[in-house]
Structure 1
Amino acid sequence: MIANYHSRNRILVTGGAGFLGSHLCDRLIKEGADVICADNFFTGSKDNVKHLFNNPNFELLRHDVTFPLYVEVDEIYNLACPASPIHYQYDPVQTTKTSVHGAINMLGLAKRVGARIFQASTSEVYGDPEVHPQNESYWGRVNPIGIRSCYDESKRCAETLFFDYHRQHALEIKVARIFNTYGPRMSANDGRVVSNFIMQALKGEPITIYGDGSQTRSFCYVDDLIDAFVRIMKTDDSFTGPVNIGNPTEFTMLELAENILELVDSTSGISFHPLPQDDPRQRKPDIGLAKQVLEWEPKVPLREGLKETIDYFRSTLK
């Protein structure tokens, strides 16, 4: 029995009870790993992982990554950080601590146990870009003192820490820059455009569009994104990233609203409001590197993914 003690891959997922983290836990459990899900439940929810409670390969741990964690694992996926403006602007200092102190603590853990570590970075490192679409060589255009800076700049700092640990300590790192993602288990009150539009349409409330609705985003379905995460972790040691993960098909906010209104069969109107400070006008990934190295590109069309997401939100209103 002792010889087989480490036969399963032991994986830590920080932020594992969140939207993305819970789907990642599902995928890793399905692949036969032992998963430790660590979350402080600021934006994550036990409901997202309760279906795993009786699985012997799953362990739920209440933990804040701004404090050190001492566990024995083979891999770490660092997803811990509020990702929507409403949540990360609620306590901006804590947001910065989560990204920066969290990265330091998880990198320290990875160094101690010799684990490969994945950083969930973000397209927000590009800020309000002057280059379109954005590829990984673009350094970004970020306001360092704006209301979004606690998230944007702390994620940029986390990338710096990952690459310095890689250079200084030969740590095996993988860095993914995540573009807009949607799907079941999104929080209904996270202020993100997909969840906002769907909930407003389901309740018959006017859909809130900031600006004139011409600003664009690209939307990746959660299953496609998680598949990319796993592929990144399976690349050889020479590949660190950063690598863009997202759907390069671009939609205006007005097009998204119209699609959701049609799929919900809602009578909601559209209400236009001023554009928030530092809100990017365009956001679209260049996924050439992901195609080349990971042999990955998104498969789920927007309307198909929206149907699944709408069904999920409908079930939460019952």
Structure 2
Amino acid sequence: MTKRLDRALITGGCGFVGSHLAEHLSRQGTEIICVDNLATGDRAHAIGEFVEHDVTEPLPRLPHCDAVFHLASAASPRDYFRLPIETLRAGSLGTAHALDFARAHGARFVLASTSEVYGDPLEHPQRESYWGNVNPIGPRSVYDEAKRYAEALTSAYRREHGTDTAIARIFNTYGPRMRPGDGRLIPTLIGQALAGEPLTVHGDGLQTRSLCYVDDTVRGLIALALSGHAGPVNLGNPDEYTVLEIAERVREVTGSDSPVEHGEPDTDDPRRRCPDIGLARQALGWWPETPLEKGLGQTVEWFARTGEPLR
């Protein structure tokens, strides 16, 4: 099943992934309504009709939309540690309000969930059938459990109301427009390398990550929206690197000779993170196409060009 997306509502549309999604859809001829409260988004990244609004309140009256992409949430540890209650409310009340809008308009609803629902996984690589290993009361739980609840609510709307829903589990997306000081791995390492500072690695650095360039993630979200698949579907890159290897790649791309500096391990930091994308390949015809070196190069170029300070 495919749908024509004449108009799409994107909550969190001024954020990192949301703004890239809006840009890609706009290029394909889709009108965009961007809803964002600017808690972590940037008004300068808005595309289409911008509505400043907190999704924890019911959405205002808006034109009919064919799709709703629900991305509104703090997504970096620094932000959700700073906004713990707001993050939980965005995943609960915000998801309910976005689902109510989609249901009223007969729109396709796409939830941007996260690989964090798998927690510190006991299964490797992680398949969609894995239920996860999450600490429900740890400091990261405000994000992990918000997304797990959002998935449960999305599934309930599909079962009880017949709402046309889909769930995407996004793995470690990176690229231009990330905020330099948001605390995530790639902007932190790039910012430090460009400033000639030591590259911070928490713990022994042998924990692994799978990095997916933002253009690939956005292609996956659009493919899911245009399909009839309910998900959950993993959207990520199955190429797995240790954090130390990623730091070395950043040094190579930036030409930096910054040393690696080990810090204390992060609480509940996953030791391994790698998606099984067999379902995405089969159901969506999707897989990541951007090699790490190319994606890092484009990201470093953007950071160097914008010259944004760490904050």
TM bin (shorter chain): over 0.9
Aligned residues of 2:74 and 2:83 also touching (Cα < 8 A): no
Residue 92 of structure 1 is matched in structure 2 by 84
The match for 1:17 is: 14
2:125 matched residue in structure 1: 133
Residue 75 of structure 1: CA displacement?
A: 1.0
SS of match in other structure, 1:27: helix
Residues in 1 aligned to 2:140 and 2:287: alpha-carbon distance in whole angstroms:
29
Deviating runs (4+, > 6 A) in structure 1? none
- Per-residue CA distance 1:106-156 (angstroms, 9 max, x = gap): 111111121111000000000000000000000000000000000001100
1:232 maps to a residue whose letter is L
For residues 262-307 of structure 1, the C-alpha deviation after alignment (integer angstroms, 9 at most, x for no partner) is: 1111121111011111000000000000000111110100011000
Where does residue 45 of structure 1 map in the other structure? 42
The alpha carbon displacement at 1:316 in A equals: 1.8
Question: CA offsets per residue over residues 242-261 of structure 1, 9 Å max, x none?
Answer: 00000000000101111111
Q: 2:268 matched to which residue of 1?
A: 278
Instruction: Work out the CA distance in 2 between the residues paired with 1:316 and 1:30.
Output: 23
Give the deviation of 1:73 after TM superposition: 1.6
Map Cα deviations across residues 170-220 of structure 1 (whole Å, 9 max, x no partner): 000010000001000011111000000000000000000001110000000
| 1:71-97 Cα shifts (integer Å, max 9, x gaps) | 232210000001000001102111100
CA change 1:173–1:8 in 2 (3 A) is: closer
Q: Separation in 1 of the partners of 2:266 and 2:81?
A: 13
Listed as ranges, the gaps of 5+ residues in structure 2 are none
TM-score, with length taken from structure 2: 0.96
The answer for the alignment partner of 2:187 in structure 1 is 195
Give me the whole-angstrom Cα distance separating, in 2, the residues matched to 1:68 and 1:35.
19
Structure 1: gaps spanning 5 or more residues: 1-6, 53-57
Provide closer, same or farther for how the CA distance between residues 106 and 204 of structure 1 changes in structure 2, counting only shifts above 3 A: same
State the partner residue of 2:56: 66
Aligned to 1:249: 239
CA distance in 2, matches of 1:265, 1:125: 36
1:21-79 C-alpha deviation (Å, 9 max, x unpaired): 00000111111111101111111102223xx4xxxxx1111111101113232210000
CA RMSD of aligned residues (A): 1.1
Task: Indicate the SS of the match to 1:263.
Answer: helix
- Classify the secondary structure of the residue corresponding to 1:89: helix
Match of 1:185 among 172, 177, 186: 177
Is contact 2:209-2:274 (8 Å) kept?
yes
**Map of 1:55 onto structure 2:** none
Corresponding residue for residue 281 of structure 2 = 291
Q: Distance in 2 between matches of 1:213 and 1:232?
A: 34
- Residue correspondence of structure 1 range 225-244 to structure 2 within 5 A: 225-236=217-228, 239-244=229-234
* Equivalent-residue separation in structure 2 for 1:65 and 1:267 (angstroms): 44
Tell me the secondary structure at the aligned position of residue 112 of structure 2: strand
1: CA distance, partners of 2:5 / 2:132: 40
Deviation at 1:8, TM superposition (A): 7.1
